[in-house]
């Protein structure tokens, strides 16, 4: 943690990248991926996978572990960071790295810059790792599969954040411009300013209060609730206007507990204004005031993050990611699949995995980014 070791981005070869991608694929079904499986799906022209894996372990991008009945490799946080950052640099979204500027609840935030030296913000989502222990005692059933899921949880959190940020940006909400994302990393505009929690006084609390409440209502009329609308996720820019950040937990106003989440967001603002600025108002929005004007919630839900088949509804719910993962695809009965290293792969399965590795590498070596523009 702390500094990103980015020197390694230049140092590692495309074969290293392929091996790491193969381990990533293997981790869909294994907590520890057998070396032989990595060799088979990485499918290097001249072999030598084991030597490469050993080197990657030295750089701490992989670890080799011995379990009770099995042993094998798994990606480390750094290994996963490497895959995402390599893809983002290939695309020329990122050209250089700066400092860590924040540690959120479930993320690390860095400044980066593109080729024109425009400073940008990089958010690395880090879900799951620490939460497992909390869940474990309570839910033994899940404990098993969860250890390999940090990768998917982090990825889904980033995907969801990007989808919301894009939909909001396109509707001219004051949010950072989303630039691109890959795996668990989101790249966005760097906000010049600081979180509201650092603001000790404002010239016109009344105006800022109105602006924030209007935002909550505007979001609601679009069909969404921020869900964590507090002084840490409201940035104040150089012109003293709010910029909203941090979207992975956003929910639809059609969610069963929507009113509860809505009221909580409103209460957060009221309590903060009272505590910090001694400001109180009888005027505040209610859930029943909302009037549907847009379908931002369905638009984002359709954009793909909720169709990821390797996710588990209950688990996500437990981790506070209220996703509508479709039931047909969440295979809750085959938890033995995870970390069962005796899983037999047919030649056809292996061919399928090889194709996935190829497709992933192809997309990671893409050099262009789709343009995102506000609809004004
Ligand atoms: P978490 O989900 O972990 O809470 P946040 O998205 O809230 O992460 O970011 C954590 C902190 O990083 C914020 O409080 C803010 O100080 C900083 N930060 C996040 N996004 C940006 C950005 N686009 N520009 C500048 N600072 C940011
Ligand atoms: Mg936050």
**Alpha carbon of 216 to ligand 2 centroid (Å):** 17
- The predicted-structure confidence for 113-129, as pLDDT tens digits, reads as follows 999 999 999 999 998 75
Confidence at residue 9, expressed as pLDDT on a 0 to 100 scale: 87
Q: Is the pLDDT of residue 90 over 60?
A: yes
Answer with the residue of higher pLDDT: 257 or 368.
257
CA angle 156, 246, 194 (to 5 degrees): 150
Q: Is the pLDDT of residue 139 over 60?
A: no
Ligand lying nearest the CA atom of residue 175: 1
Confidence at residue 313, expressed as pLDDT on a 0 to 100 scale: 52
**Alpha carbon of 231 to ligand 2 centroid (Å):** 9
- The predicted-structure confidence for 206-257, as pLDDT tens digits, reads as follows 999 999 999 999 999 999 999 999 999 999 999 999 999 999 999 999 999 9
- Give 106's pLDDT tier (boundaries 50, 70, 90): confident
Q: 259 vs 23, 179, 209, 234, 301, CA distance in Å? A: 43, 32, 20, 21, 19
User: Which atom of ligand 1 is nearest to 107's Cα?
Assistant: 3
Beta-carbon contacts of residue 363 (< 8 Å; ≥ 6 apart): 87
Asked whether the beta carbons of 126 and 104 are under 8 A apart, the reply is: no
Give me the mean pLDDT over the 290-295 stretch. Answer: 97
Tell me which residue has its CA closest to atom 11 in ligand 1.
102
Q: Is the pLDDT of residue 370 over 70?
A: no
User: Which atom of ligand 1 is nearest to 232's Cα?
Assistant: 14
Q: Is the ipTM above a cut-off of 0.95? A: yes
Confidence at residue 128, expressed as pLDDT on a 0 to 100 scale: 74
CA angle 267, 269, 275 (to 5 degrees): 100
> Running DSSP on this structure, what letter comes out for residue 177?
P
Is there a catalytic annotation at residue 282? no
User: Using a 6 Å cutoff on CB, does residue 123 contact ligand 1?
Assistant: yes
- The predicted-structure confidence for 76-85, as pLDDT tens digits, reads as follows 999 999 999 9
Alpha helices, DSSP H, located in the chain: 7-11, 14-26, 35-42, 49-58, 77-90, 131-138, 140-146, 150-170, 205-221, 258-277, 296-301, 313-318, 347-364
Task: List the catalytic residue out of 16, 81, 180, 228.
Answer: 228
């Amino acid at each position: 943690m702390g500094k990103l070791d980015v020197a390694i981005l230049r140092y590692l070869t495309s074969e290293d990248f392929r091996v790491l991608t193969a381990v990533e694929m293997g981790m869909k079904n294994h907590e520890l991926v057998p070396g032989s499986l990595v060799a088979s799906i990485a499918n290097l022209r001249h072999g030598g996978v084991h030597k490469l894996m050993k080197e990657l372990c030295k750089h701490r991008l992989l670890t080799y572990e011995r379990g009770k009945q099995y042993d094998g490799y798994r990606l480390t946080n750094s290994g996963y960071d490497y895959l995402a950052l390599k893809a983002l640099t290939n695309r020329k979204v990122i050209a250089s790295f700066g400092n860590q500027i924040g540690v959120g609840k479930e993320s690390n935030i860095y400044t980066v810059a593109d080729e024109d030296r425009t400073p940008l913000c990089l958010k690395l989502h880090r879900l799951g790792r620490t939460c497992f222990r909390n869940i474990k005692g309570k839910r033994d059933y899940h404990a098993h599969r969860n250890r390999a899921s940090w990768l998917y949880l982090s990825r889904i959190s980033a995907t969801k954040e990007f989808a919301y940020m894009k939909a909001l940006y396109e509707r001219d909400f004051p949010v950072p411009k989303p630039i691109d994302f890959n795996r668990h990393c989101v790249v966005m505009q760097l906000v010049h300013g600081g979180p509201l929690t650092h603001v000790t006084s404002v010239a016109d609390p009344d105006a800022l209060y109105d602006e924030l409440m209007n935002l909550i209502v505007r979001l609601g009329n679009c069909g969404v609730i921020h869900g964590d609308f507090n002084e840490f996720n409201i940035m104040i820019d150089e012109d003293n206007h709010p910029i909203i950040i941090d979207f992975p937990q956003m929910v639809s106003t059609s969610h069963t507990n929507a009113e509860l989440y809505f009221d909580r967001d409103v209460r957060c603002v009221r309590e903060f204004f009272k505590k910090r600025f001694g400001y109180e108002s009888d005027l505040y929005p209610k859930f029943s005031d909302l009037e549907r004007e847009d379908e931002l919630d369905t638009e984002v839900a359709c954009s793909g993050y909720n169709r990821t088949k390797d996710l588990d509804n209950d688990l996500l719910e437990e981790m506070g990611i209220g996703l509508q993962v479709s039931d047909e695809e969440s295979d809750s009965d085959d938890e033995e699949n995870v970390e069962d290293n005796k899983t037999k792969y047919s030649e056809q399965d292996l061919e399928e995995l090889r194709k996935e590795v190829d497709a992933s590498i192809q997309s990671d070596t893409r050099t262009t980014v789709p343009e995102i523009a506000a609809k004004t």
